[in-house]
Amino acid sequence: MIVKALSVGSFAANCYIVGSSSAGKGMIIDPGAEAATILKTVQQMGLSISVVVLTHAHIDHVGAVREVKEKTGAQFALHEAERGLMMGGPMRMLTALGVAPVKSPPQPDRLLKDGDRIDIDDLPFEVLHTPGHSSGGICLLGHGVVFSGDTLFNYGIGRTDFPGCSHEQLMKSIEEKLMVLSDETVVYPGHGPATTIGDERRGNPFLSGEPF
C-alpha cells in the first residue's frame, strides 16, 4: 500500500492519496483544495483513481472534489448523512470567515454507511461511522491504518462548536470505534501529523480512558 499525504488550502487540511502498489489503482481522501497539486501528485505516483472519498463535508475538505472527480473520472463517495451538508451551514460559516469561494461539490455517486467496504483493487477499507464533529463523519480502516478525518488528531480531537456537532457523540465515536483498535494502528488525521492509536490512548489529553 502506498500513502501520500498533502497539506492543502488555507486550513492546511490533509488530503491523502492511497494506492495499491501492485495494481496501480488508488483513491483520494478529502481533496480540500489545490486540485492541480493533487492531480500532479497522482500522475507522479502512476495511479488510476477509482474513487474520491470525503471523511466529512466541511469546506476545508471539499474544495477540490469537483475538479478532481472530473479529471480522474472517479466515483465520489461520502456518508449518507453528509449529503445535505455539502453546501450547508458549516460551508456558509467558514466562507464568512474569509475562505475563498469554492466550487460546489458534485452529487455523490455512492452514499456510504457504517460497515460498508471500499475496495481499491486488492486493498479493502471498512467505513466506520464516527459522528460528532459532523453528523456523517467517517473513518476508513484497513491494512494497519485508519484515516480519521477530523474525528481524532495527534493529541487532539475534532472541534464540536459548529452547528450539528456534538462533543458527547464525538467522544462516544472515538471510544467505541477507534480506541478498540490495536495500539499499532497508524492514524492519518484530517489535519496535522500522523500518530498511532497507542500514542493517543496513552497521551491524548482529551481521552480519559473512562467508558462511555
What does the DSSP assignment read for 132-177?
A: SSSTT-EEEEETTEEEEETTEETTEE----STT--HHHHHHHIIII
Residue 43 makes CB contacts below 8 A (sequence gap 6+) with none
Beta-carbon-side half-sphere exposure of residue 113 (alpha carbons within 13 Å): 0
pTM: 0.92
90-139: per-residue pLDDT in tens? 455 555 555 555 677 889 999 999 999 999 988 999 999 999 999 999 99
Question: What domains, with CATH codes, occur in the chain?
Answer: 2-203 (3.60.15.10)
The pLDDT, as a whole number, for residue 96 is: 52
Beta-carbon-side half-sphere exposure of residue 92 (alpha carbons within 13 Å): 6
With cut-offs at 50, 70 and 90, classify the pLDDT of residue 212. very low
35-84: per-residue pLDDT in tens? 999 999 999 999 999 999 999 998 899 999 999 999 999 999 999 999 87
The pLDDT, as a whole number, for residue 102 is: 64
Mean pLDDT of 171-199: 98
Q: Is residue 211 scored above 70 in pLDDT?
A: no
Q: Determine what percent of the chain is predicted with pLDDT higher than 90.
A: 81
100/79 Cα distance (integer angstroms):
25
The pLDDT, as a whole number, for residue 92 is: 55
**Local structure of 127: helix, strand or coil:** strand
Q: What's the chain's average pLDDT?
A: 91
Contact 151, 137 (CB under 8 A): yes
Mean pLDDT of 167-186: 97
